[in-house]
Structure 1
Amino acid sequence: MTINVNPDLRAYIDPLTEDEFAALERSLLSEGCRDALVLWGDLLVDGHNRYGICQKHGIPFNTTQNKTFQSMDDVHLWMIDNHLGRRSVSDFQRGVLALRKKEIVAARASQAQTRQSSVESAESDGAAQSESEPPLTREAVARAARVSSATLGQIEKIQKTAAPELVSAVKSGVISINAAAAVATLPSEEQVAAVAGGKKELRQAARQVREARLPPKPELEPPPSDATPDQVEIHRLMQLLAELTDERDQLKKKVQHLTIALAEARGAK
């Protein structure tokens, strides 16, 4: 039986880490290949790692045909939905996959609309409309990825503006999505330098970006020279309130930074 491997299709989903690949290889060697490889004709759709390991060690395997595929978009959507349901996929990976799904569905809807506008009969209009898929809202995409809408927005920002080195750091868990989205607003060379500096440098860069976004502190005008005692006292109290507010904001920032650092430390375990 001929099985064709499409390099682009194989690379469509992030590859396994070295540890994950080694664990899969040990499992196949000890238990055999229990799950069938999914094919579309002779094209391998799911099971690229298993197929490579089985070929290497001469391990028998089974295949199954998915007869629902009509196009490569169908294949991509199936691969996305298949991986979105896996526990081992990180929040960032799920977000990227869900955003890809949104792009495919949007492109299909646009194509269907173009076809619909070109037909002349009402029957053809109805047929074209039935091919169109409902657009995916941001909330629906976030639910598919099992992340919040805010996190999904941060993933989009990372995809659009992050240097490749920063993206790799997010994928490997060196930096959180939240912190990476902040660092991604820096010039590319500064992002690369922060990644090269390791976790501590990345956290510092993210902290500086967040602090730079804070609005400037309003300065109180001194009381006039002919101010009454009551006016002087009001000014003193307002100044004290401003200092206490600033102290509160500083404590809130420290709590936020500690929360992020704790989440990153837990994710690294």
Structure 2
Amino acid sequence: MNIVVNAELQAYIDPLTAEELEALERSLLAEGCRDALVLWGDVLVDGHNRHRLCLKHGLPFRTVQNPRFKSLEDVHLWMIDQHLGRRSVSNFQRGLLALRKSEIVAGQRARAFAPQPAEPARDEPAPPAAAETAPPPTPAATSPAPERMDSREAIAKAARLSSNQVVMIERIRKQAAPEVVAAVRAGTISINAAAAVATLPAEEQIAAATAGADELKQAARRVREARSKPPKPRETPAASEQDTEPDELEMLRERVTQLTAENLDLRRQLAELQALQARTP
């Protein structure tokens, strides 16, 4: 059977570490390939490492088709769900997978609930050009809209993480330099530390990652300390300013007194005018 290895699908999930790959190879050599490789037609969906190692050592393997795959998005969602359920997947990887799943589901729901174009009236024939060139209609998909996954709580539940961890992973994905992402993927620094470093300018992130794990941790500590510092107290006025403050207050009081007197005088004038108008026939 000709099995097609799609590079995009092979790279969709983070690769195994060298230690995990060695353990898998030892298991295959000792026990054979017990789990069937999952295919979508001729395309390999799950079992890329097992497939390669079985070919390398001439080991037999089985394949199985998944009839639920209707599109590449269905394949992606299935792959994500498979890896979310595996213990060997790190918290950071699970968070990334759950965020990726939420984006796919959002797109599917948007299309499922989008208004459909109105069909032409049956007594109105289609234009000749369209009738000649259009392919025959295909039945519309009837699969229900996927379950909503548009809140951090839903994403956290799918990833078996806290909402705060999802927020940090989302920040790392959007703001962290590739070198920082590689460090947290490898477990060199924690999600918390990587999220703190991700708030720094890109050049500072790269410099810290290049310097190694200790510098990354120091950079994260500096960010946290800067956040925790209380705001600076207001500066005490200089002696000269303190000396002149009473004079300024006295000037303001005099101005208030002056304005009050002017206001009273204007009211008096207005009252006199009103009385004069009342006496005039």
TM-score by length of 1: 0.76
**Gap change, CA 1:128 and 1:31, over 3 Å in 2:** closer
Q: Is the 8 A contact 1:40 1:69 kept in 2?
A: yes
Distance apart, 1:62 and its partner CA: 0.6
Structure-1 separation of matches of 2:159 and 2:118: 36
- Equivalent positions of 1:1-269 (< 5 A) are 1-114=1-114, 116-119=115-118, 131-136=144-149, 137-214=151-228, 215-218=230-233
Where structure 2 has 5 or more consecutive residues not aligned to the other structure, the ranges are: 121-139, 243-281
**Equivalent position SS for 2:64:** strand
Question: Whose Rg is larger?
Answer: 2
**Equivalent position SS for 2:104:** helix
**Gap change, CA 1:220 and 1:188, over 3 Å in 2:** closer
Distance apart, 1:129 and its partner CA: 9.2
When the two structures are aligned, how many residues end up with a matched partner? 218
**Equivalent position SS for 1:118:** coil
**Equivalent position SS for 1:131:** coil
**Equivalent position SS for 2:89:** coil
Distance apart, 1:133 and its partner CA: 2.2
**Corresponding residue number in structure 2 for 1:258:** none
Percent identity, aligned pairs only?
A: 65
Distance apart, 1:35 and its partner CA: 0.6
Distance apart, 1:113 and its partner CA: 2.4
TM-score by length of 2: 0.73
Distance apart, 1:110 and its partner CA: 1.2
- Mean alpha-carbon deviation: is it higher for 156-165 or for 204-213? 204-213
**Gap change, CA 1:2 and 1:130, over 3 Å in 2:** closer
Amino acid at match of 1:40: W
Distance apart, 1:117 and its partner CA: 4.5
**Gap change, CA 1:65 and 1:210, over 3 Å in 2:** same
Distance apart, 1:30 and its partner CA: 1.2
Q: Is the 8 A contact 1:179 1:203 kept in 2?
A: yes
Q: Is the 8 A contact 1:113 1:128 kept in 2?
A: no
Structure-2 separation of matches of 1:221 and 1:128: 72
User: Which of the two has greater helix per residue?
Assistant: 1
Give CA-to-partner distance per residue, 1:129-184, whole Å, 9 cap, x none: 97322321221110110111111011010001111110000000001000100101
Give CA-to-partner distance per residue, 1:21-79, whole Å, 9 cap, x none: 01111111111101110111111000000000001110000111111111111100000
Amino acid at match of 1:141: I
Backbone CA RMSD of aligned residues: 2.3
Distance apart, 1:98 and its partner CA: 0.4
Structure-2 separation of matches of 1:10 and 1:20: 16
Where structure 1 has 5 or more consecutive residues not aligned to the other structure, the ranges are: 122-126, 226-269
Give CA-to-partner distance per residue, 1:230-257, whole Å, 9 cap, x none: xxxxxxxxxxxxxxxxxxxxxxxxxxxx
